[in-house]
Structure 1
């Protein structure tokens, strides 16, 4: 499968890229710069035939459009898109102290980013064999379990859930599965050192979903990395 991963340079995005390559998939690792570094560069050296790093800044639509045109010119279809790039700002801020620019920035990356990616890359997902779109969400985006905090992150993830639901309806009958996926509280730069979850485990669970190795309720759109429904 040809898989596109945004925010692939670190954290969950890196682990998803690694898991997909280990399983023999071809991965376009989207990163904000024009060249990889650190762990991703080492991963590219391990899997030179399976991973290619491409500039893909979800806040700059021209980079998304450029990648789409490049893939189209190369005659490459897209089997799966994993919208992983995200940001967590103003953790712990009360509504009285919340910087509104952090809310705007969160929506710019967490919601508008995936929308830009789908806008330009969905046309490269032709009907036929099963394909998948995974929008990385969070339990923080659940209306049922809403709590008074993390306003920019939580509200933007609720919006991601809505976008996923809309997209699922839009592509119904085209062989494209759409899910908003809660990866768990995992030990990454965003999740922090106290997080109990292993990002590698979440990554492999997400690839399992793409490979249809998880028994997911066809009516579900908000699920965890094990394929289990999350409270909306």
Structure 2
């Protein structure tokens, strides 16, 4: 088995996902940029300018797209060492818990929570072939019980549920030597976080890169921020 590790990062054409890709490249990973738009993924790969980068089109809100991405990669790689479920949406502007509609709640949960679960399920055959695969789910302080906000209803609920799914996946995959953890990147300056956010995308990516590259991950089913476990 090739010693060079392989990572797939969803939503890696920009923001935190792109910073994770850059960080893992510096750690000598083979990096697969997952992008809903193939053209945007290719543009990101060109910016990274490395033979270790490839691109796969994947929309984590659509099962057919996830399956298509798996089939494409299954023909090219013999395993997957790291899966970073980073892609997500933040559609709550103008809504609160008293005004948000069912359709928007469903849309956000489908992308931010169910997308991560389904991507993990579909890519499990490749993850099982790695020596110690790692799954990293991108959560938020808004997903902590103490961080819930009535003004960010669908996003908060999607990340709260993702934290729960992280615990359940960690338990289900423990016997396969696959660790599953969630990361709170903090408030990051990006298209999602806005220009007033105090943290850089590199700071938001740091914990995920660290979890992907350290020799062994002892904890599973935890929420991390700045390389430390925080309360769910």
Above 0.5 in TM-score? Answer: yes
What are the ranges of 5 or more consecutive residues in structure 1 without an aligned counterpart? none
Q: Distance in 1 between matches of 2:133 and 2:45?
A: 28
Q: Structure 2 length as normaliser, TM-score?
A: 0.90
SS at match of 2:180: strand
Name the residue aligned to 1:194.
Answer: 196
Instruction: Please report the RMSD computed on the Cα atoms of aligned residues, expressed in angstroms.
Output: 2.1
What does 1:32-43 correspond to in 2, within 5 Å? 32-36=36-40, 40-43=44-47
1:111-166 Cα shifts (integer Å, max 9, x gaps)? 11111211110111126622210000001011133332200000000110011100
Q: Distance in 1 between matches of 2:64 and 2:150?
A: 36
Cα pair 2:171 2:221 within 8 Å, conserved: no
1:168-190 Cα shifts (integer Å, max 9, x gaps)? 00011322111011011110111
Name the residue aligned to 2:106.
Answer: 104
Q: Distance in 2 between matches of 1:41 and 1:126?
A: 27
Q: Distance in 2 between matches of 1:223 and 1:94?
A: 27
Q: Structure 1 length as normaliser, TM-score?
A: 0.90
Cα pair 1:31 1:54 within 8 Å, conserved: yes
Name the residue aligned to 1:6.
Answer: 10
SS at match of 1:144: helix
Name the residue aligned to 1:120.
Answer: 122
Q: Distance in 2 between matches of 1:127 and 1:42?
A: 29
Name the residue aligned to 1:28.
Answer: 32
Name the residue aligned to 1:142.
Answer: 144
What is the total number of aligned residue pairs between the two structures?
228
SS at match of 1:111: helix
What does 1:205-224 correspond to in 2, within 5 Å? 205-212=207-214, 218=219, 221-224=222-225
Larger helix percent? 2
Cα pair 2:33 2:45 within 8 Å, conserved: no
